[in-house]
Amino acid sequence: MTEGKKINRIDSIFKEYADDKFDYLKMISEMSNDKIIRDLTESGLRGRGGAGFPTGDKWKYAAAEPGDEKYVICNADEGEPGTFKDKEILMKVPHKVLTGMTACAKVTGAKKGYIYLRWEYKFMRNDLQKFTDEFNRVLKDMNIDFEIGIVTGAGAYVCGEESALFDSMEGMRGEPRNKPPFPTASGFMNKPTVINNVETFAASTMILLFGGKSYAKLGTDFSHGSKLFCVSGDTDKPGIYELELGMTLHEFVEKFGDGDTKAVSVGGVSGALVPRKKFKDTVIGWEGVPTGGAMILFNSTRSIYHILHNYLEFFEEESCGQCTPCRIGCQQLRKGIEEIKKGEMDPSYLDTLSNLSKVMNVTAKCGLGQSVMNPFTSAVTNFKEELLY
């Protein structure tokens, strides 16, 4: 059994620590760029969208790039099934996000920032636009040469992938680009760009308020700080919770499960589908199973075959379709488990499919195709009988 942290609720993102929402902005405007980078680096903050790139490094790399034209982009294309925290952040505490973006702009020298808002969140666009306008006015009054705009996506899951998001913003078909070059060198409009998740920007603001070292005290050596978790599925307590990183899945299920939890999708459909027998050994964090926030609980009334089938249908449709392993691989996996279930294909074909998912994991052009393996191999390894019979 892995020694995990006790479950511990934190309240930094949604709680107000200032009298006025522009106080955070005043605070960062008085900080030196070195201090901002130092605090972020010391905090150990890693991208909260799920990929987990160290935020301080990202900002630092973009700052080191030559040129005047740079961009700060807030990825609000919250498309991962089971994730709904960014919506809440943008509705409740948008000033923390915009402040984080401004801190990033200050460090990198970007003069323009954008929030890429997913199509499904267009209901909040007017309110967010109003607030952004107000924020921009304040920036102007404070003589900060930075302006934030909002771009609405068109409803594709793949546009949450940073380089596909740039394509989409540039008015093109959203397809992930080849990397390198990475966004910090060549991103939006092929200019140095910092792109971070909504929560990452909000967390950055709070880190700059509390100080990097104090944030780093939370969590584990690999996974510092706290993070928002979106709890859904078979639970009596669905919702958004800010928790310290590093707890085991067992702790989590004890708290949020309905007593009959069979599996948890940690990180949504592109994350692992962890079975009950591994709850105690699974640390939620970079040293174990990381998550962008989605925690979908399933109890014993759920069929893993149907869950996996549903996931694969999702991937099949949401792949951008450009690269071979993802476009065709997803179809083969979905069709494959159907045929096995029907008895049209031999059970041994499941091994072929497993290998296929592993090939997809190493050959797909972007994270979408690469991560299909996560739920697929966990389902095959842990719930094989449910897929066969």
Partner 1 sequence: MKKLINLTIDDQKIAVMEGTTILEAAKKSGINIPTLCYHEDLCIAGNCRICIVEQENTRALPAACATPVTEGMVISTTSSKVRNARKYLVELLLSEHNADCTACVKNRHCELQTLAEQNHIREHTFIDLKFDKNYTIDKLSPAIIIDYSKCIRCQRCVRTCEEIQSISALSAAYKGKDMKITTFFEKPINTVVCSTCGQCVAHCPTGALTEHFYIDEVWDAINNPDKHVVVQTAPSIRVALGEEFGMPPGSIVTGKMVSALKRIGFDSVEDTDFTADLTVIEEGNELLRRLKSKIVDKDPNVKLPMITTCSPAWVKYCEHAFPDQLDHLSTCKSPMSMFGALSKTYYAEKFKIDPAKIVSVAIMPCIAKKFESNRPEMNASGYRDTDYVLTTRELAVMIKQAGIDFNKLPETNFDSLMGVASGAGMIFGNSGGVMEAALRCAYEIVVGNDIPFKDLSITPLHGSEGEIVELSLTFRDTKPEWSFLEGVTVNLAHANMLSNAYKIMNEVKDGNSKYHFIEIMSCPNGCIGGAGQPLPTSREKRAARKDAIYKGEKQIEIRKAQDNPQIVNVYDDYLGKPLEEKAHKLLHVPGFTPRKRH
Cα–Cα dist 26/268, whole Å = 37
The reply to whether 346 sits near partner 1 by the rule CB under 8 A is no
Cα–Cα dist 165/195, whole Å = 10
> Out of 126, 178, 301, 348, which residue is the one contacting partner 1 (CB under 8 A)?
178
Cα–Cα dist 234/49, whole Å = 24
Q: Which stretch binds partner 1 (CB under 8 A): 175-183, 192-200, 267-275, 380-388?
A: 175-183
| Token output for 272 | 């692992």
Asked whether the bond before 181 is cis by omega within 30 degrees of 0, the reply is yes
Residue of 177, 203, 168, 205 whose CA lies nearest to 79: 168
Q: Phi, psi (5° rounding) for residue 39?
A: -60, -45
Site string for partner 1, 301-340 (x = CB under 8 A): --------------xxxxxxxxxxx-xxxxxx--xx--x-
Encoded amino acid at 330, one letter: C
CB nearer to partner 1: pick between 113 and 288: 288
For residue 196, the minimal CB distance to partner 1 (Å) is 23
For residue 96, the minimal CB distance to partner 1 (Å) is 33
Burial of 259 per CB tally in 10 Å (0-12, 13-18, 19+): exposed
CB nearer to partner 1: pick between 89 and 312: 312
The reply to whether 226 sits near partner 1 by the rule CB under 8 A is no
Instruction: Find the binding residues for partner 1 in span 95-154 (CB under 8 A).
Output: none
For residue 25, CA distances in Å to 36, 40, 58, 146, 209 come to 13, 16, 21, 12, 10
For residue 320, the minimal CB distance to partner 1 (Å) is 5
The reply to whether 356 sits near partner 1 by the rule CB under 8 A is yes
Cα–Cα dist 192/59, whole Å = 10
The reply to whether 355 sits near partner 1 by the rule CB under 8 A is yes
> Out of 97, 115, 158, 216, which residue is the one contacting partner 1 (CB under 8 A)?
158
Site string for partner 1, 180-219 (x = CB under 8 A): x---------------------------------------
Q: Which stretch binds partner 1 (CB under 8 A): 173-181, 193-201, 233-241, 375-383?
A: 173-181
The reply to whether 156 sits near partner 1 by the rule CB under 8 A is yes
Cα–Cα dist 17/1, whole Å = 38
> Out of 134, 363, 386, 388, which residue is the one contacting partner 1 (CB under 8 A)?
363
For residue 137, the minimal CB distance to partner 1 (Å) is 39
Asked whether the bond before 176 is cis by omega within 30 degrees of 0, the reply is no
The reply to whether 375 sits near partner 1 by the rule CB under 8 A is no
CB nearer to partner 1: pick between 21 and 177: 177
For residue 241, the minimal CB distance to partner 1 (Å) is 31
Cα–Cα dist 236/257, whole Å = 7
The reply to whether 372 sits near partner 1 by the rule CB under 8 A is no
The CA-based angle 157-161-163, given to 5 degrees, is 130
Residue of 192, 186, 156 whose CA lies nearest to 172: 156
Q: What length is written for the chain?
A: 389
The reply to whether 365 sits near partner 1 by the rule CB under 8 A is yes
CB nearer to partner 1: pick between 128 and 373: 373
For residue 233, CA distances in Å to 52, 195, 261 come to 25, 30, 10
Number of residues interacting with partner 1: please give it, by CB under 8 A: 37
CB nearer to partner 1: pick between 208 and 337: 337
Residue of 331, 384, 316, 324 whose CA lies nearest to 359: 324
Cα–Cα dist 163/172, whole Å = 11
Q: Which stretch binds partner 1 (CB under 8 A): 39-47, 273-281, 300-308, 348-356?
A: 348-356
> Out of 102, 205, 361, 377, which residue is the one contacting partner 1 (CB under 8 A)?
361
Encoded amino acid at 162, one letter: E
Angle between helices 373-382 and 349-363 (to 10 degrees): 150
**Binding residues for partner 1 (CB under 8 A):** 156, 158, 173, 175, 178, 180, 315-325, 327-332, 335-336, 339, 345, 352, 355-356, 359, 361-365, 370
